[in-house]
Amino acid sequence: MGLMTPQQYKESLNDGRVIYYKGERVENVTTHPDLAQCANLMALDYGMAEDPQYRDIAVMTDPDTGEEISRYYHKPTNSEDLLKAYELIVKATELGDGYIPLAHDIGADALNAISITTHNMGEAGKEYHQRIEDYRRHLKATDIATCAGVTDVKGNRMLRPSDPKQSHPDFYVRKVKETKEGIIVRGAKVHITGAAYCNDIFVIPCRQMTENDADYAVAFSIPANTPGIRQICRPFTAHISPLEFPNTRPVRVHTDSLIIFDDVLVPWDRVFLNGEWQHAATMVYNFALMHRRTGCAYRVPMSEQFLGLGAAIAEYNGIANAPHVKEKLTELVLYLETLRSLSKAACYDFVMHGEIAVPNPVSTNIAKYHFATKYHDVVRIIQDLAGGLLVTAPTYKDFKHPDLHDDIKKYLGGNSAVSTEKRLRMFDLIRRLTSDDLETIALHGEGSPFGQRMTVLMEARHIIKKCKKIAEELAEV
Ligand SMILES: Cc1cc2nc3c(=O)[nH]c(=O)nc-3n(C[C@H](O)[C@H](O)[C@H](O)COP(=O)(O)OP(=O)(O)OC[C@H]3O[C@@H](n4cnc5c(N)ncnc54)[C@H](O)[C@@H]3O)c2cc1C
């Protein structure tokens, strides 16, 4: 018990879980050639706790027990807690070279969202609140890795979970039975990042529910190796093609699972919502809020990379001082610094939801909306600055070929102060970091942009009211 070492974390994953990858059953995710990279990335989170350089930010003393715990599982109650968690995620993402370790952060967002909801439920939520706070103590004591299964497969998006017009009743995870031991659940969650190499999976509803949907209003946590759980993982480009300049960084180091719950028993002490349909919306709303702050923190180091790509390729092409290029680099700076400022401001200007400090809902949602909807503009700028060689340049193998090397070196040079090899390597990196996969992640990860617009409008009601009053006073009406 206590903080896990990277080795202990990896060993804990060899637990008989049912994982499929590229059509094959995976015996042990930590020895699989692709998935081992994901587990190694997650282990960075555990490594930070051991490293004197990062220990102060990754580890804190539990105010309740005096024990050392992961900062992620601490209950945030003020702006300092929110800011430190933000800085921890930024640092972890930097250490992952822009890839996110996420052994604790998404799970912590679900943990806090459940705690806020059960607290707000008052008497009806008392037992659930006790259970989730007991579970928080368990997470602090064991330091296990957690993820969040929120998004259901949903079927027809315009129909409610219980609508008989859905072609079957299992498009949203639901309770099918209660027993003495707990509830039996069936359904599937989709896109669940890191679930294949987490210890426990949080499950919460992904939408508002009505009375008819009561069986779908369930929240719980469950070990990934529980009988009846199967995961189908989406492949990722784990290895750089031999046609590219050698680089240790793959295109993406995570897989997202389709998790099937085939009549899975969830013991009572891990059930945090069971039919209270009125509270499903609060839970998913608070998860989205906490998780958008987390998502913004991931994106700060990634946006620094983008600014770096733009600046580097402009210099390598010899165009850095052209007026239109300066304009484009300014756009990249605005993108990065708007994101950074809004993300930090949301932590300073926090609000209390029950016992928990949450980032300011308006600025967090604007920050997420900003990075998602401007992402494609940023990619376009970098691709524009790079030029067509981004997709037509000869390969690394051509560059290494003795008959071709000198020609490529001579004809594909740009700025004479920069070697041709450097320029070609940068093209490879830009191609990888601006790939279609990453564009979709920016758009839909942490929720599609329309969700942020809806939340901003809802949360800005008091701002709109105040501003309308100002206008009316000015008009003397
Ligand atoms: C890489 C990646 C990682 C992710 N990781 C996680 C994770 O770890 N955990 C997790 O729970 N989720 C995760 N997600 C899920 C993410 O939150 C969802 O992709 C997002 O909420 C959109 O849901 P969807 O993909 O089902 O798309 P859809 O909901 O099908 O959305 C497609 C379009 O339909 C619109 N739409 C949907 N419903 C309606 C409606 N009723 N009325 C009108 N318009 C509608 C949307 O606005 C959008 O424009 C991840 C997603 C990605 C891409």
Mean pLDDT for the stretch of residues 231-243: 89
pLDDT of residue 240: 85
Structure tokens belonging to residue 384: 């524009």
pLDDT of residue 452: 87
191 lines ligand 1 (CB under 6 A): yes
Mean pLDDT for the stretch of residues 265-290: 97
Mean pLDDT for the stretch of residues 89-99: 92
Q: Which atom of ligand 1 is nearest to the CA of 151?
A: 11
Residue type, 136: R
CA 288 to centroid of ligand 1, rounded, Å? 12
Give the C-alpha separation, 378 to 338, whole Å: 13
Q: Which atom of ligand 1 is nearest to the CA of 449?
A: 47
Tens of pLDDT, residues 178-214: 999 999 999 999 999 999 999 999 999 999 999 999 9
- Evaluate if residue 448 carries a pLDDT over 90: no
Give the C-alpha separation, 172 to 192, whole Å: 14
390 lines ligand 1 (CB under 6 A): no
CA 451 to centroid of ligand 1, rounded, Å? 9
98 lines ligand 1 (CB under 6 A): no
CA 369 to centroid of ligand 1, rounded, Å? 14
pLDDT of residue 36: 94
Mean pLDDT for the stretch of residues 247-254: 77
Q: Whose CA is nearest to atom 51 of ligand 1?
A: 445
448 lines ligand 1 (CB under 6 A): yes
pLDDT of residue 9: 98
Q: Are strands 146-149 and 356-358 parallel, antiparallel or unpaired?
A: unpaired
CA 422 to centroid of ligand 1, rounded, Å? 38
CA 443 to centroid of ligand 1, rounded, Å? 9
Tens of pLDDT, residues 384-420: 999 999 999 999 999 999 999 999 999 999 999 999 9
How far CA 112 is from CA of 81, 117, 136, 286, 287, in Å, comes to: 13, 9, 9, 8, 8
pLDDT of residue 286: 96
Mean per-residue pLDDT of the chain: 95
pLDDT of residue 251: 67
pLDDT of residue 103: 93
Count Cβ atoms below 10 Å from residue 25 Cβ, excluding itself.
Answer: 9
142 lines ligand 1 (CB under 6 A): no
Q: Whose CA is nearest to atom 12 of ligand 1?
A: 151
pLDDT of residue 59: 97
366 lines ligand 1 (CB under 6 A): no
Domains of the chain: 286-475 (1.20.140.10)
Chain centre distance of CA 182: 30
CA 128 to centroid of ligand 1, rounded, Å? 28
Q: Indicate the pLDDT class of residue 250, thresholds 50, 70 and 90.
A: low
Choose the residue to mutate in 106, 147, 156, 157 for probing ligand 1, maximizing ligand atoms within 8 Å of C-beta.
157
| Residue bearing tokens 């949907």 | 213
- Evaluate if residue 382 carries a pLDDT over 80: yes
| Residue bearing tokens 């509803």 | 205
Q: Which atom of ligand 1 is nearest to the CA of 440?
A: 53
Contact 289, 358 (CB under 8 A): yes
